[in-house]
Amino acid sequence: MKYLPVRSRLQILSDLRAVEIFLSLVETENLTRTAEALSIAPSTVSKKLTELELRANVRLFHRTTRQLSVTPAGQAFYRQCARLLDEAEAVERTLNPDAEDPAGLIRMTTPTALGERVVGPLIPGFLRRYPKISVELDTSARTVSLLSEGYDLSIRLVHASNLTDNDTVLSWNRRRFCASPAYLARHGTPQHPGELSQHNCLAMRLGSTGDSWVYTEDGRSRTVSITGSLRSNNAHFLAEAAAENVGIVLMGPFVVEEFLRDGRLVRILVGYEPRDTAVSAIMSDGAMASQHVSLFVDYLKSVWPLPGQPEPDGQ
């Protein structure tokens, strides 16, 4: 008879409202924003946090006069509490099947070109379907930390060998070597990737990378050193430059498809393309059980416009 205890089984989590406040504080790192989001006084936020830390007997946040940052213990606590609160919401929906439509904010991040060309145009359809859900989209070439930066979801490009159980594959992405007809007429068409070192290669610049390209030959991945007059973390900008006869690019179909369709770019070195990368959705630990985030991932899977299987080698 474990549900007839002589005392409460819950000590630290006896106040779920305090847990809800704690989760919001981790995501906002700001007492005032949390108070505004939950429509309570800042003093209540501070009081509930202090009570929670006293019950837990652990520091959940580092505090200064200007900054609030979660501790390692707080991060671990956040992951567990996020699942707990989402499960509690699920229980409420079970008891009240006529509850309101799914609601909540989805904070997500994607690479710039992928966000602009594919993810962004898909969002309005989702918002029309679920009008009480809102989306905050950050397009950036940098790698973000889902937990510390408060994101629920990341759409990213992942090498197939690096996929984990947390990745939901939306599509497969085979990058293509491309150049404009005018550039090739002027400089010649390379017949082997080794010749790329003699061409102007327009490469993505991510951190210190960008001085070599990967290609596939005889079923093995190889690299070739490249140089070029233009580097950028914006793939679409590089594709535009290639279409203006500046050089050669190695880009995914979601970037170069329109250029290939209108003939401004053509494919070269067909059969030497790098192995596929996956377009993957990965949710933060706290968002994994969130209904509104899961609904968005399911929506993306159902409407994603690119092929769902890897291209065979040599195509």
Q: Give residue 223's pLDDT.
A: 93
Three-class SS string for the chain? CCCCCCCCCCCCCCCHHHHHHHHHHHHHCCHHHHHHHHCCCHHHHHHHHHHHHHHHCCCCEEECCCCEEECHHHHHHHHHHHHHHHHHHHHHHHHCCCCCCCCEEEEEEECHHHHHHHHHHHHHHHHHHCCCEEEEEEECCCCCCCCCCCCCEEEEEEEHHHCCCCEEEEEEECCEEEECHHHHHHHCCCCCHHHHHHCEECEECCCCCCCEEEEEECCEEEEEECECCCEECCHHHHHHHHHCCCCEEEECHHHHHHHHHCCCCEEECCCCCCCCEEEEEEECHHHCCCHHHHHHHHHHHHHCCCCCCCCCCCC
Q: Give residue 135's pLDDT.
A: 93
Q: Give residue 265's pLDDT.
A: 97
CA distance 60 to 77: 8
Q: Give residue 315's pLDDT.
A: 38
CB 165 within 8 A of CB 137: no
Q: Give residue 243's pLDDT.
A: 97
Q: Give residue 206's pLDDT.
A: 61
What is the residue type of 192?
A: H
CB 302 within 8 A of CB 296: no
- 235-265 burial string, b = 16+ CB within 10 Å, else e? bbebbbbbbebbbbbbbbbbbbbebbeeebb
Q: Give residue 148's pLDDT.
A: 64
Q: Could you list the mean pLDDT of each consecutive 10-residue stretch along the chain, which spans 315 residues?
A: 58 81 83 80 87 89 81 85 74 64 86 86 90 89 68 85 84 90 97 96 71 90 93 90 97 89 96 88 74 88 64 43
Q: Give residue 103's pLDDT.
A: 82
